[in-house]
Amino acid sequence: MNISKTLITKEQIAEKVRKLAARINADYNGAELVVIGILNGSFIFTADLIRELELDIKVEFMGVSSYKDGTKSSGELLITKDLQLDITAADVLIVEDIIDSGATAKLLVETLKSRSPHSVKVCSLLNKQARRVNDFRADYVGFEIDDEFVVGYGLDFAGKFRQLKEIKILEEV
């Protein structure tokens, strides 16, 4: 695998994080918010986003997947790390690195809604609409991207490249 051009610079990311946080701050207008970062890919985005929020927040992380064989959604949500916090009556913001097929995100929202929160919204840094298999739409989206395999800023390939400060396209050699 070879990293090719930079798709999104660290400056573009920082500006987008500020803009997303401003929208979230306005929408929640001082309410307490439970922010749930989805592991592993969103940990850097989650950290940067919460530092820009001007709300009372609680931060949690979840590990989830709907891909049993790694390529096709099973239609069931596999929770590899669950919440420690009771979200009953809470305003919840799920933070994702990327939404492509929408399968996992849709199942996650349904699962969390079954726990009786006041509200559930999704913020995704990247949206890959070309791969969508359902009608799922995030409430907050940083960047729309084409159907490219991207790494950096938390996104990986086989556990590598998460530390890159920019989002880059990964191509086969």
- The verdict on pTM exceeding 0.75 is yes
Nearest CA to 122 among 111, 106, 133? 106
Question: Which candidate in 56, 100, 146, 156 is catalytic?
Answer: 100
pLDDT digits (tens, 9 = 90+) for 75-128: 678 899 999 999 999 999 999 999 988 989 999 999 999 999 999 999 999 999
Top-tier CATH class for 2-66+73-171: alpha beta
Domain boundaries, the chain: 2-66+73-171
Note if 147 is an active site residue. no
Give the pLDDT score at 76: 75
pLDDT digits (tens, 9 = 90+) for 48-64: 999 999 999 999 999 99
